Chains A and B, each alone.
Chain A
Amino acid sequence: MASGTSRNPPPFPTNDETGEGLSNLADGDSDEGEDIFVSNSMSPGVCQPVRGGELPAGDASSHTSAQSNGVHSDEDNDLFSDAQLSTDKSGSSSQKELSSSSSSRPISSFSPRPAAMPTTSLEQLEEEEDKDTFDVDVAVTNPEKVGDGMNAYVAYRVSTRTSLPMFKNRTFSVRRRFSDFLGLYEKLSVKQSLHGCIIPLPPEKSVVGMTKVKVGMDDPSSVEFVERRRAALERYLQRVVAHPLLIQDPDVREFLEKEDLPRASNTQALSGAGFLKMINKASEAVNKMTIKMNESDTWFEDKLQEVENEEQQLRKLHAVVDSLVNHRKELCGNTAVFAKSMAMLGNSEDNTALSRALSQLAEVEDKMEQLHQEQASSDFFIFAEVLADYIRLLGAVRGCFDQRMRAWQRWQEAQSSLQKKREVEAKLLWANKPDKLQQAKEEITEWEAKVTQYERDFDRIGMTVRKEVLRFEKEKTKDLKTQIIKYLESMLQSQQRLIKFWEAFLPEAKAIA
């Protein structure tokens, strides 16, 4: 094996990992070119259970890229599996059966290829890329109202397509309701093992919106509300499955796969602006800390400041885009009204050619109204919503930093408890009370263990946070770029249609005599 790996940056682990590690090869998360953990990714301190399989994943990479709404995980410099290249040169990596690749590897069925090859196959693969190449692809569709009256709710179809072996099937779908999504978030957010991770946020509850929907799903504002929520839920799930750790999580798997999910209770806390409230409360607690942490390197402080600045600016941008959406909707309405007025004027005009031209103008304005409507929708769904997502996600990032602080706090408190216990022991020694002394010694051992544990936790969380932030930033960059470019493309389409409208009108205007 090692012989054929001249191209692969990380050395292969030994064979004993292949068996188990490969089944968990889900995450194509070997993207950290600048990953500072490459060397010590083997350390058990890193709370990533499948890290052992990470390195081989470098070549069996399956990408968890999501679809249109643009949450993309990193596909950049991943090298594809050699086995894959040799078995399937056409580039369609839909058959990314990890089991086959694992079996072919020990046999060394591949031959070393020149370094140039991977890039061309990369391009090839990317060119022929469609959803088949993604490892896990989720979509949220078909919102349907279930039940009647105030107990009604909307059920969404969550469809998954995957090539990961840990799932029972390759494609499957389940029905979920909104509280299920919230429940998933809640389960994930309390897991110790995921501390320090940036857990994606589901959309917020909206009493007003839901009440309207419960009453009837037909009017345009309800339709818009449901669509907005559906899109947000989809983006949420796409981010979840794009996260290398979360896709491993049994709760996530259960959410995607299990037919009937027990009803999530306790989602009350997550109502309204619940998330940000939670995060902000945590921040307050951190700020009230009396002992200030002595950072050995300023990375955390600097990063947190950056995050806060960015969040603030994104908020401003979002507010402006929101305003644009509203003004465009207004423009839409006013244009429609004007078009009618123009048509009336055309009717009264007694010069026939002018009358016809005015009617044509009214039609052009009508078409403009539709254009404005679509543009407003694009403003909203492509741009504004994504900005809103990231504002909340940046809040979640801040939350991670706070988690780290709390871990530090816990460690410090444990240390001071240990100190106190030692003082007690010293006193007891002096007072010569052997029975109590024994107890004291036991307590000291206990606390020593705790101190060690908490210190390790703190270090682990620190590393997780760093890693997560880097991953997040890459994802964010890609996501925002893609969305903005998509937005610009929609603007472009608008302009092109505008040209068509006016080109059609111009001869009519010139024909006036």
Chain B
Amino acid sequence: QQEGLDDGPDFLSEEDRGPRAVSVDLQTDATLQVDISDALSERDKVKFTVHTKSTLPNFKQSEFSVVRQHEEFIWLHDSFVENEDYAGYIIPPAPPRPDFDASREKLQKLGEGEGSMTKEEFTKMKQELEAEYLAIFKKTVAMHEVFLCRVAAHPILRKDLNFHVFLEYNQDLSVRGKNKKEKLEDFFKNVVKSADGVLVAGVKDVDDFFEHEKTFLLEYHNRVKDASAKSDRMIRSHKNAADDINRMASSLYALGTLDSTDLCKFFLKVSELFEKTRKIEARVAADEDLKLADLLKYYLRESQAAKDLLYRRSRALLDYENANKALDKARAKNRDVLQADTSQQLCCRKFDKISESAKQELIDFKTRRVAAFRKNLVELAELELKHAKVGTLSVTLSVSLLMTSSSPPPLLSLSCRGTCSCCRVVWVS
């Protein structure tokens, strides 16, 4: 059974744990296990139940749950980013905001258009939109969960105090979203960062490893971005085609119910087949979305986080070099030497620290990436095969059923005609 797309409201049944590990290959160990055991969608917010199991002494209990909202995840992420001590790590990318707007709009439009379609059509479309809503919901849960799992798996970040508070504090964290001023500040910070990034990128690195990584990541990030956008578009077309097949099934059904002639019975059978076909097509599109599009999206964010790490390191390098220059100047002028010296040493230590952890982080990133791609590509291929086989079976069964109940022409000449359509007029010389 596939990711429970058209199943009932049990959002997180066992098998649905699938999407969670979509993008990342993580080792879970008993000392700290985090997951999202439940989620509730309310009006315009989603409430996640974060469930922790831990043997660490830091926590009061060994197992507990709290309810968190998206803003609190963002707060946690930002606290990592702003923490100087974590400058040398790839900060796990923040989960994207749950976005049900499109889906909600569609449901609303459907409600408005209820009068213009038959009851069957309406029920059908409503079911589909609900399934779509459910799929988006599951995705957002998965992405929030991945974020937490990444943090929990990271040897340093898992010890973060804010993280523990996030996991344990069972009251509202009162984390307000950023107000306008703060958002504006953020905006400027990003502008500065990108400008800086260009500057910093120009700085040639002595270390080959990092030089190579820089070039690699820049190009990789851009290409993943491109691939991600294109995969989205492709999957959208696929979904549209599946929708059309759905409408074809309805239309054939309407034709079939006009009368009870031979042809009408035929139409009804074909309608059934198209129902099956479109379910399969919809699942193919959904699986492509999950295994391919989501994978690419995730690595878009991760590669950005890796780039950020490199940026921080380059920044630290620049600071170090500047501190060196300042020290030389101070020594030359013989003024504030001690100050310059301490400053330089600080910069040096900071740079070294970042470099050391960055190297490991980038290697881990590669390992994770390769593993995630492997897992997803294999699963994608297996699912595609499975769907294609089911599809083939359905169509074959239906075709043979339709042909036996049909009056002549019999099987043989039909397939003969089928091939003859390609060789236009063979018989006329």
- CB proximity of A475 to chain B, nearest CB, Å: 11
CB distance A70 to B378 under 8 Å? no
CB distance B388 to A498 under 8 Å? yes
- CB proximity of B276 to chain A, nearest CB, Å: 12
- CB proximity of B344 to chain A, nearest CB, Å: 35
Nearest to B239 among chain A residues (CB) is: A327
Scan residues 402-429 of chain B and give those whose CB is less than 8 A from a CB of chain A: 402-403, 406-410, 412-418, 420-421, 424-425, 427-429
CB distance A488 to B227 under 8 Å? no
Instruction: Digitize B24-35: 1 where CB-to-A-CB distance is under 8 Å, 0 elsewhere.
Output: 000000000000
- CB proximity of A143 to chain B, nearest CB, Å: 11
CB distance A482 to B373 under 8 Å? no
Q: Is A367's CB within 8 Å of the partner chain B?
A: no
CB distance B408 to A76 under 8 Å? yes
Q: Is B384's CB within 8 Å of the partner chain A?
A: yes
Binds B, one of A4-12, A122-130, A206-214: A122-130
Instruction: Digitize A123-155: 1 where CB-to-B-CB distance is under 8 Å, 0 elsewhere.
Output: 100110111000001010100000000000000
In Å, the complex CA distance between A353 and B366 comes to 13
Contact of B424 among A141, A323, A349, A510 (CB under 8 A): A141
Q: Is A161's CB within 8 Å of the partner chain B?
A: yes
CB distance A306 to B259 under 8 Å? yes
CB distance A320 to B248 under 8 Å? yes
Nearest to A353 among chain B residues (CB) is: B370
CB distance B385 to A506 under 8 Å? yes
In Å, the complex CA distance between A331 and B234 comes to 6
Total interface residues on B, CB under 8 Å, equals 74
Scan residues 235-283 of chain B and give those whose CB is less than 8 A from a CB of chain A: 236-238, 240-241, 244-245, 247-248, 251-252, 254-255, 258-259, 261-263, 266, 270, 273, 277
Instruction: Digitize A443-482: 1 where CB-to-B-CB distance is under 8 Å, 0 elsewhere.
Output: 0000000000000000000000000000001001110111
CB distance B418 to A489 under 8 Å? yes
- Which chain B positions have C-beta within 8 A of A139? 424-425, 428
In Å, the complex CA distance between A72 and B414 comes to 12
Given A324-B248, A328-B241, A331-B241, also A161-B428 (CB < 8 A): yes
- CB proximity of A394 to chain B, nearest CB, Å: 12
Nearest to B258 among chain A residues (CB) is: A309
Q: Is A389's CB within 8 Å of the partner chain B?
A: no
Instruction: Digitize A481-497: 1 where CB-to-B-CB distance is under 8 Å, 0 elsewhere.
Output: 11011101101100110
Contact of A341 among B226, B273, B384 (CB under 8 A): B226
- Which chain A positions have C-beta within 8 A of B420? 67-68
Q: Is B395's CB within 8 Å of the partner chain A?
A: yes
Question: Main SS of the interface on chain A?
Answer: helix
CB distance B399 to A489 under 8 Å? yes
- Which chain A positions have C-beta within 8 A of B258? 306, 309-310, 313
Interface residues of A, Cβ cutoff 8 Å to B: 67-70, 72, 75-76, 123, 126-127, 129-131, 137, 139, 141, 159, 161, 171, 173, 306, 309-310, 313-314, 316-317, 320-321, 323-324, 327-328, 330-331, 334-335, 337-338, 341-342, 344-345, 347-351, 353-354, 357-358, 361, 473, 476-478, 480-482, 484-486, 488-489, 491-492, 495-496, 498-499, 502-503, 505-506, 509-510, 512-513
19 A-B interface contacts by CB (under 8 A) = A68-B421, A129-B409, A173-B428, A310-B255, A324-B245, A327-B244, A330-B240, A334-B236, A351-B370, A357-B377, A473-B261, A485-B414, A486-B417, A488-B398, A492-B392, A495-B388, A498-B388, A509-B377, A509-B381
Interface residues of B, Cβ cutoff 8 Å to A: 216, 219-220, 223-224, 226-227, 230-231, 233-234, 236-238, 240-241, 244-245, 247-248, 251-252, 254-255, 258-259, 261-263, 266, 270, 273, 277, 366, 369-370, 373-374, 377-378, 380-382, 384-385, 388-389, 391-392, 395-396, 398-399, 402-403, 406-410, 412-418, 420-421, 424-425, 427-429
Beyond known contacts A317-B248, A481-B406, A509-B380: 6 more, CB 8 A cutoff: A327-B240, A335-B234, A341-B231, A344-B223, A473-B261, A510-B378
